[in-house]
Chains A and B, each alone.
Chain A
Amino acid sequence: MEMKIAHISDTHITSGEAYKGYAYDLIANEINTLDYDIVVHTGDVTNEGLKEEYERASYELKKIQKPLIVVPGNHDARNVGYELFEKYIGPLNGVYEKDDLVIIWVDSTIPDLSDGRIGGYKFQWLKEKLEEYSHKKFKIVASHHHLVPLPDTGRERNVLFNAGDVLDLLLKHEVNLYICGHKHVPNIYKVEGLIVANAGCTSCRKIRKGDVNSYNIIKIKEDGKISVSIKRVTGEIARREFKIKKQRIFVPKKRRLLRIVQMSESNVSDRVYFRERILKNAIKAINEKYKPDLVIHCGDVVDVGTERYYAKAYEFWEKIKPEKIIVPGHNDITYLGYELFREYFGEPKILEMDSFAFIPIISAQYETPIGVVGRIGQKILKQHLREHEDKFKVVVMHHNIIPIPRSREIGFLEDGGNVLKILTEEKAELVLTGHGGNTLGIKVEETPIINAGSISWELHRNPFGNSFNLIDIYEDMIAAFEIQATWGSRKLLGIWKIKTKVPWA
């Protein structure tokens, strides 16, 4: 079986200026003349979800003389357009099946909002479909909204409301591809075993950073190889190949070089949610049992920035024996926190230990859970990663850049898309974050990203309870475990092979 899929998106068909009819015709003609088996449109067929737009769209879509799946986008749902969508275009959710392939498309729109959501009953529907088609060798889920932060989109927003849960579901079910549109920026990421492919926009005038219209080409081969190409109307093609690998067995043979304990959200305070006993026990276990080379606190050391809480937090901090790094979280800089953090813990600085470099990045802003690295911060981050090119580079920050399960994702890092691109392109060996109250370990491209849950705050989202992470770095792999703060039971967050040469070993 070999399948070739044309993935188009964001046509924004309207009689107004937004629609570029010539770009649409160019791409539609090309799709008709080339050997595509099927075409998937990941939404924003129309510009405003209006009747006259749907009438025109149904005419324009007929120009594509191939089997066509159309997914609704936020623009299609405007003005109760989701009802017209079903009338003029087709079902909002559905399943396409051929040989070893299944494509499940799901409506991620919220009427009148640009945000996305695959919530409640729809999430359950998607789960049931994934169970039903579990046996298919190739599984593609198509939806409109993006799943991981995208570069060059300005502000990170309109993320799927429950992006963390959706990502978790797709990874657990070993979906091969998540395809989407929405942001008008073409991009391909490998997220663990999942390829996340965003199509650019096929025929809308709203293009970012002076790019041109484009569509994606997906090829699926019997031997388990998948390729995704971004094809621009200028003819330029950027192609990436992937191989489905299901068996992941690690045979530890090499030396352990470093052990890190990562924690977050201790939220020291005198509030009832602060679990002092759990923090004490965890610190005891860290000092006596785990004996790491380095302890990293990813922020929210205090619940709010008062002198009393900082003094108390500092007492705990002093009890931790190994070398330590801490970055401020958004709680830490509330009220007097901006000053207090620096008075008690000092300005976060780059720490070099043998061949490791730990690069702290400050992302917290006043009085908001939304963080930002900033355009100058991004340049500094890139510069630090380049300056420490020959080291094992660990970036430490508070805000999560990968959506966290069981939390409402609102794009916690305002410029998460650009930051993620820098981290993956500059090949940071490890990224540690600590926001959202739940634990997660996911590799994007070649960079493992680990988020810490809360070590001692009752208001968390982790079914495992309060926890911290134990990260062991070997010459040939990174093994990360979540340690239940009270009982010490372990859960594997991830093991990742280190593929790069090891000048740092």
Chain B
Amino acid sequence: MLRAFTVIPMDENAPIKVYMTKKLIGVRPEDSVQEACKVMVEFDIGSLVVVDENDSVVGFFTKSDVIRRVIVPGLPYTTPVKEIMTKELITVDANTPLKEVLKIMAAKRIKHILIKEEGKVVGIFTLSDLLEASRRKLETSIAAE
């Protein structure tokens, strides 16, 4: 049992498909960075997949990529997403056990990882998914009068 981030016992041998988010929100490569950021705000998410017309995932980026690749270099908000997205995707197979996925994420120092099955991106796993229980604990501590 893994208890590093949470008190919810996570089964480290379970395939990552059990823990991943299976419904992804995406944008098109031609969409502007500003449109993409609006989607992030609307859905309150920290990352987006970039999908082409055939529903193939061609890129990925996070909020901090926007800060580092758009805001800091001073690119216009109209820059298409395809120019700032990460094209070399880091993925793992959906059947990889959780503990292996965490090792890969630690080695590459990433907080989000895309999950593939039969050649297609089918999910995303984010470290913040592990923080559920601690939020609940903090809630209990302030709810008690």
Q: Do A and B assemble together?
A: yes
Do B22 and A248 have beta carbons less than 8 Å apart? yes
Does B92 interact with chain A (Cβ within 8 Å)?
Answer: no
A residues 471-499 in Cβ contact with B at 8 Å: 479, 481, 484-487, 489-492, 494-495
A391-406 vs B, Cβ < 8 Å mask (1 yes, 0 no) = 0000000000000000
Known: A251-B26, A251-B28, A251-B51. Contact between A486 and B17, CB under 8 A? no
Do A487 and B138 have beta carbons less than 8 Å apart? yes
Closest to B18 in A: A172
Does A62 interact with chain B (Cβ within 8 Å)?
Answer: no
Does B88 interact with chain A (Cβ within 8 Å)?
Answer: no
In the assembled complex, the CB of B72 is this many whole angstroms from the nearest CB of chain A, namely 27
Which one of B38-46, B61-69, B100-108 is at the interface?
Answer: B38-46
B111-138 vs A, Cβ < 8 Å mask (1 yes, 0 no) = 0000001101110000000001101101
The number of chain A residues touching the other chain, given as a range, is 35 or more
A residues 384-436 in Cβ contact with B at 8 Å: none
In the assembled complex, the CB of A280 is this many whole angstroms from the nearest CB of chain B, namely 11
Residues of B within 8 A of A277 (CB): 142-143, 145
Does A125 interact with chain B (Cβ within 8 Å)?
Answer: no
In the assembled complex, the CB of B55 is this many whole angstroms from the nearest CB of chain A, namely 6
Does B2 interact with chain A (Cβ within 8 Å)?
Answer: no
Does B8 interact with chain A (Cβ within 8 Å)?
Answer: yes
A465–B22 Cα distance when bound, in Å, is 22
Residues of B within 8 A of A83 (CB): none
Q: Which of B51, B117, B139 has the most CB of A within 10 A?
A: B139
Does A308 interact with chain B (Cβ within 8 Å)?
Answer: no
Query: Majority SS of interface residues in chain B?
Result: mixed
Known: A251-B51, A277-B145, A464-B135. Contact between A495 and B120, CB under 8 A? no
Q: Which of A464, A465, A489 has the most CB of B within 10 A?
A: A465
Do B18 and A250 have beta carbons less than 8 Å apart? no
Does A34 interact with chain B (Cβ within 8 Å)?
Answer: no
Do A250 and B25 have beta carbons less than 8 Å apart? yes
Does A134 interact with chain B (Cβ within 8 Å)?
Answer: yes
Does A249 interact with chain B (Cβ within 8 Å)?
Answer: yes
A462–B139 Cα distance when bound, in Å, is 13
Do B44 and A464 have beta carbons less than 8 Å apart? no
Residues of A within 8 A of B17 (CB): 134, 172-174
Known: A131-B13, A490-B44, A494-B23. Contact between A252 and B135, CB under 8 A? no
Does A246 interact with chain B (Cβ within 8 Å)?
Answer: yes
Do A466 and B139 have beta carbons less than 8 Å apart? yes
Known: A131-B15, A173-B18, A495-B23. Contact between A247 and B135, CB under 8 A? no
A463–B95 Cα distance when bound, in Å, is 25
Give A residues with C-beta under 8 Å from B: 127, 131, 134-135, 172-174, 246-252, 256, 275, 277-278, 458, 462-466, 479, 481, 484-487, 489-492, 494-495
Give B residues with C-beta under 8 Å from A: 8, 11, 13-15, 17-18, 21-28, 39, 42-44, 49, 51, 55, 57, 94-95, 117-118, 120-122, 132-133, 135-136, 138-140, 142-143, 145
